[in-house]
Structure 1
């Protein structure tokens, strides 16, 4: 495949196909790493350093950068920082392009090109009709218009195909989706070993890096405690988190409307939505590995909370797409957990949360249901510390109890129980609400049912890890009931 990559300057389509294959086969394939020689790295580097700004070349560089990340363990240590820097530069350039505006421009370009082609064809047809109407007895004179006609046909043959602009936009969206997926992988990589951290923390370069770990205006930033210095520095240098946040917005409505009215462009709507979902997933990954200060502080998190709320509640109809709901609720869950752990006030009202949960719990996607239940638990645990919150806690408690008892998935039921433990762990407001919704008798009645469900459904439907979590919840349920009984005796 590397031999086809070498031809990228003369046959970019072939190179893209090779890069797609190469990225796929190198992902989670350590056995293949030994086959990457220095010459192979040079081929990848030559592609990554290319400067053509066409969309298909942006896609090619993004795919090759993804391959580079997959084989990062084969990169010499003295070259790793510069290579990672080159990767993030490519991702940043890809994500910086406004796909909606590009669609609008490309659609207009296609319209103009097809109009000119149609006019040229009409003119040619008129010339042919004129030629046929003229009777010329001179054989030499007859060949001249034929020659002209042939030359016109040759020019038309060289015109781009009808799908040229569509192909470019598709390449851009594929590049952006790929870039976002690779950044998720970067955030999800295994943590460095203790030795690596000792080496990092003892270096002068690390001290300088820590001093410059926040750059005002760069948006969400990464914690050096969770990412390698190379990735962290490159993310900051190219403002990648800010560009990821921009991609979480809904697609440009004008671009969507243009695509909707063109059968060949209509599939781009799905691709635009996929990019948004990948950006939300990427944001979720960033929130999981980020420190609050590196995220921009309390105000930045509150702004992000408002942004995510807008995504959920700004539509006239509550979103039903499972992929979008999973992505946005995952990001919201991680954000609210971070804010709660640092006592940062949340901008989402209890009424909005209940609306979100009532809609989300109807989703067939288990991850969405787990997320909304967890979100409600996080919000409830914060509210339990607020005066005069008993009525809201009652509403939350009733909802979580119903989910625990009625949901078809043990994973969701277990998450609902966990959320109940968090909400009603302590505090006067929580105690009052628990008594009024009869939480203790409800849990005592449900306890044997939950045990039986784990015993009957567990091994057939759930993984070992899931069963381990469910067993812990079962044990915590017993302890929580005992705790509630103690409160009742006071």
Structure 2
């Protein structure tokens, strides 16, 4: 019954240039320091040092420091951006790379305000200049002597990768940065980086992320796309999948093409949308849990082989230490003593972990894209969008009270082309399967390794996105396209198992909000089609509601009272439900009169209208819980709250809906008076 769209989620924060930055930062900072001001001042001062090595170490130290939130205000006071910006054009390529890495971390960790401040302090001027130099460098590098080509290309592409990530971050957060992107012709540069997907997938993925961001709702930029630009995107979408990072690349490019749909000829719309959803379907079809398990096993085997090889080398050396001259003969080996922990043998980039992360990110992105395809607007989580159309002068009747409760959320928008592609690519089935993700085995495998443990949260994020996606599809598609009544009942049973198999579900706010939204939409659809809801018992729903109403999330609280209203309205038409209806009524009345949010209180009142608008059992229950006197007492309080709190705390749309609830409350009170008279005479 609701309209939903995923939020923009920022990327995980990480050190920009791998282990090398961490090592340089550690060398510069020494042991972990407690003071924030000391390191910041020292590192910023060293940015002006005549030695390129010192400047590089200072940039690397700042890349590490900005990941500590308390350091950000101090760095802002000391004008870190203005000091780092010029180093993007430093004579030393290594300094350029680490300076871009520091700005990348600053933009990723600082959020919208920091990114906007970076643009104000003119980071875009040296950044755009660096991007253009890298682009020219890639062209000239093609003509370099063979012995220098690979080394030069690697340096230029590494710098470009850091720079395009900074560009992506600031354009995501700042409209001024986006305007500069448009005016400075950055599109051509980023497309050139994307076109190198066959030789540098890391750079291509970063470029694809940037393109997906800058093409969203950017009419001015869309006009700049030429046929050659679209060919670059098409080539990336059709690229063979040689690793899971290419799966992520194709997913991101599919998202960019979706953003460009308005400039694609109408005769090609259906074909393009089908191609996009085919990619998303293939991504979702992959068993990410199994991939995680396989990749972890592959990593363990590789590390075991590396450890055995190292032990043989140490034994051959005799003293357990590989000397410097021997190191020259063993490429990519560190000078090491015998290891105590196998994790110490990890290479600078863990291929298996990167692959698993890429697939999970691709699936998360695919699910977010599908939700966005189902939405025409981007409402806030607790926004009520559609108002009831009842007239205040109408006389109170059972029907007017029932209809007057209104749809709090408007229907989603789905074009014929998207609808056809969703069903032909079996998207609903694959999303249903993803709601049961992740597998306990995959979670257990990741929990045993500190480096893999973050994937547990990422797997949970994929599940939450699947639940949000499920909410959209259930609200959009006809029951037959969802598999019919048996499929919906099985799905309700699955959601119930997912929810109640976790005794501490109330602690996981994102999961609780996602699953309560999905359950709300599913039960609403089932109720509207008269499909039995016995797969979820009233006692289970009360458990959910009692836990959910204590949540700090307004969205969760709105969902649980709405769910209770849906279930109660179904039970009100059945015999033998008096006691359950009394329990539901008392709960909703408590929420309506005591919840600090008027949005939640309004939803609870609407739920009461639904539950007690009709039915013999509902009428008896309303009298026994003294619903009428309670609402009469609350009516002036509710009006006063709207008048005093509304203007400062709630949006105009929310205030319109609250005003409508106030009107329906007056009608419902009048209706309940007629019910009491009839039952007591």
Q: 1: CA distance between counterparts of 2:505 and 2:213?
A: 36
1:105-139, Cα deviation, whole Å (9 max, x unpaired): 1111111111111222222233333999xxxxxxx
In structure 1, what is the equivalent of residue 220 of structure 2?
A: 31
Could you report, residue by residue, the CA deviation over 1:252-309 in whole angstroms, capped at 9, with x for unpaired residues?
1121122112111111111000000000000001011111222222111111111111
Q: CA deviation at 1:146?
A: 10
Give the distance between the partners of 2:552 and 2:332, measured in 1 at CA. Answer: 55
Gaps of 5+ in 1: 133-144, 191-224
- Describe how 1:6-17 pairs up with structure 2 within 5 A: 6-17=195-206
> 611, 627, 642: which one pairs with 1:439?
627
2:519 is the counterpart of 1:332:
yes
8 Å CA contact 1:114, 1:162 repeated in 2: no
- The 5 Å alignment of 1:154-303 reads 154=331, 156=333, 161-189=348-376, 227-303=414-490
Contact 1:357 1:376 survives alignment (8 Å)? yes
For residues 358-413 of structure 1, the C-alpha deviation after alignment (integer angstroms, 9 at most, x for no partner) is: 01101110000000000000000000000121111111000000000110100000
Larger deviation, residues 165-174 vs 21-30: 21-30
SS in 2 for 1:51: coil
CA offset digits 1:438-489 (Å, max 9, x no partner):
0000000000110111111101111111101100000000010011112222
How far has the Cα of 1:332 moved from its partner?
0.5
The structure-2 alpha-carbon separation of the partners of 1:160 and 1:10, relative to structure 1 and needing over 3 Å to count, comes to farther
Alignment of 1:82-481 (within 5 A): 82-129=271-318, 149=326, 152-154=329-331, 156=333, 161-189=348-376, 227-346=414-533, 347-481=535-669
- The offset of 1:151, in angstroms, is 7.5
| Residues 59, 172 of structure 1: 8 Å contact kept | yes
1:40 aligns with 2:217: no
Aligned 8 A contact 1:176 1:275 in 2: yes
Do the aligned residues in 1 keep the contact of 2:568 with 2:584 (CA within 8 Å)?
Answer: yes
Task: State the distance in 2 between where 1:423 and 1:332 align.
Answer: 18
Task: Please state how far the C-alpha of 1:47 moved relative to its aligned partner.
Answer: 0.3
Paired residues of 2:561 and 2:588 also in contact (CA < 8 A): yes
Residues 132-152 of structure 1 show CA distances to partners (whole Å, capped at 9, x for unaligned) of: 9xxxxxxxxxxxx999x5675
Contiguous gaps of at least 5 residues in structure 2: 1-189, 335-345, 378-411
Q: Say which SS state the counterpart of residue 557 (structure 2) adopts.
A: helix
| Distance in structure 1 (CA, Å) of the matches to 2:587 and 2:324 | 81
Question: Residue 152 and residue 389 in structure 1: after superposition, are their counterparts in 2 closer, same or farther (change >3 A)?
Answer: same
The aligned residue for residue 142 of structure 1 is none
| Cα-to-partner distance string for 1:74-106 (whole Å, 9 max, x where unaligned) | 112222222212211211111111111111111
Q: Deviations over 1:317-369 (max 9, x none)?
A: 44421110110010100111111111111021111111110011011100000
Please give the alpha-carbon distance, in whole angstroms, between the structure 2 residues aligned to 1:155 and 1:434: 76
In structure 2, distance between residues paired with 1:439 and 1:475: 17
Checking the alignment, whether the CA contact within 8 Å between 2:428 and 2:482 is kept in structure 1 is no
State how far apart, in whole Å, the 1-side matches of 2:194 and 2:470 are.
32
Counterpart check, 1:486 vs 2:668? no
Range that drifts further, 98-107 or 9-18:
98-107
Answering whether residue 243 of structure 2 is matched by residue 54 of structure 1, we say: yes
Work out whether residues 205 and 248 of structure 2, in 8 Å CA contact, stay in contact via their aligned partners in 1. Answer: yes
Q: Is the 8 A contact 2:438 2:459 kept in 1?
A: yes
Counterpart-to-counterpart distance in 2, 1:41 and 1:246 = 33
Change (3 A) 1:482 1:6: same
Q: Which moved more, 1:465-474 or 1:249-258?
A: 249-258
Contact 2:283 2:363 in 1 (8 A): yes
Q: Secondary structure at the match of 2:217?
A: coil
SS in 1 for 2:551: coil
Q: Which moved more, 1:117-126 or 1:15-24?
A: 117-126
Mapped contact 2:251–2:366 kept (Cα < 8 A) = yes
Q: Does structure 2 retain, via aligned residues, the 8 Å contact 1:283–1:331?
A: yes
Question: Structure 2 CA distance, aligned partners of 1:363 and 1:150?
Answer: 57
> Is the 8 Å Cα contact of residues 100 and 252 (structure 1) preserved in structure 2?
yes
Q: CA RMSD in A?
A: 2.1
| Separation (CA, whole Å) in 2 of partners of 1:19 and 1:468 | 41
**More displaced, 113-122 or 228-237?**
228-237
- Name the residue aligned to 2:258: 69
In the alignment, which residue of structure 2 is the partner of 1:216?
none
Indicate the larger mover: 255-264 or 462-471: 255-264
Change (3 A) 1:487 1:166: same
Task: Find 1:22's aligned residue among 211, 214, 236.
Answer: 211
Distance 2:332 2:630 in 1: 80
CA distance in 1, matches of 2:669, 2:624: 16
Shift in Å at residue 237 of structure 1?
Answer: 2.6
- Contact kept in structure 1, 2:435 and 2:463, CA below 8 Å: yes
**Helix, strand or coil at the partner of 1:188:** coil
Contact 2:245 2:359 in 1 (8 A): yes
